[in-house]
Amino acid sequence: MKVIQEKFGELNNQTVNSYTLVNDQGMELTCLNYGCIITKIITPDQNGNFENIVLGYDTLAEYVSGSYFLGTVVGRVAGRIKEGSFDLDGKTYTLAKNENNNHLHGGNKGFDKVIWNASIDENDEEVSVQFSYLSPDGEEGYPGNVNIKVMYTLNNQNELTIHYSGISDEKTLLNLTNHSYFNLSGNIKRDILNHSLSIKSDKFLELNDELLPTGELLDVFGTPFDFTSERLIQSGVEANHPQNQLAGQGYDHPFLLSSNHDQEIVLTDSVSGRTLTIETDEPGVVVYSGNQMKSEGEIYGVPSRKYLGICLETQGLPDAIHHPNFPSWVLEKDQEYTSVTKYKFGVAAK
């Protein structure tokens, strides 16, 4: 097992490096110290062909100017915050309104737009890259100096573990996720409409027309949001359910998980045979089926279009600061924030 470090580009006179984690099975993961971006994940299909299964760009300039958060770590707070403001202990904090009238994924310069420090760890059982960043008090409007660490670890069981941690010198908000777009066809040969998904969840969040939670938890049963058994993504894209139509014909919805570290999220592509099993300690997962992707530009040489990838964003529920019935993202002073999500890459039996 090894980690290969290479120069990927330069930004503001700083070097941006790529780090490729390689295990003994031939699986590879490449990431950047810019935005902790995962640029490639190379895994085998049922015939042993190794191909990339995430969306990304060839150049740093494309990541800097891109608007899809491909492969990034987003924060301080993933998802939307209504009207770009919140109250904490009687004080109102104002954030950037970078999506219509709301705050999205940490603002104009969230964690996805900064250069992180990086360190490598290698041993016989696993290899890791740890990224660290000090988010200063007031950055994007949030209180507190927050020390953030994100560690990507690859082992010989073809498992990627993402471990997030943070500590603040003031009471603040923190809710991190990774925003990789998966496409298990390999090298983007097809879109994700015929991928099937299962989620251990019997509730999803109702959204309003700004894609903000209304606060209502809806039953999945009898709807296109019932992933308690495998369901094709295409079934939600073609559905006339008002929530699918609201999201742009597809999914952009938070699901409340009913189980943790229990194979609770499974994505499968029956053609390639590839499977992805996700386990997390987070209360929810946002399923985004790429409905807002535009038919302009290219992603690894493939014309961009809707449904080219699917995001499975393990995190706290969006806009929780405005919904006391949701699990809280408030981080107390000197309290450690931790979150772990594991991605197991496999192949279905023929």
Closest residue by Cα to residue 170 from 132, 140, 137 = 137
CA distance 28 to 20: 6
Residue 284: pLDDT over 90: yes
Which helix (H) or strand (E) element contains residue 100?
none
User: What are 303-344's pLDDT values in tens digits?
Assistant: 999 999 999 999 999 999 999 999 999 999 999 999 999 999
Q: Where are the domains of the chain?
A: 2-347
Catalytic residue flag (residue 253): no
Give the integer Cα–Cα distance in Å for 59 and 65.
10
pLDDT band at 67 (very low <50, low <70, confident <90, very high): confident
Q: How far is CA 63 from CA 34, 116, 260, 292, in A?
A: 9, 15, 32, 17
For 142-196, what is each residue's pLDDT tens digit?
999 999 999 999 999 999 999 999 999 999 999 999 999 999 999 999 999 999 9
Cβ 291 vs Cβ 251: under 8 Å: yes
Q: Which of 51, 264, 282, 313 is catalytic?
A: 313
What is the per-residue pLDDT across 13-31, written as a single tens digit (0 to 9) for each? 999 999 999 999 999 999 9
Residue 350 has pLDDT above 90, yes or no: no
Which is the catalytic residue, given 103, 105, 179, 195? 179
What dotted CATH number matches 2-347?
2.70.98.10
Residue 179: active-site member: yes
Strand partners, 30: 20, 40
The whole-angstrom separation of Cα 25 and Cα 336 is 35
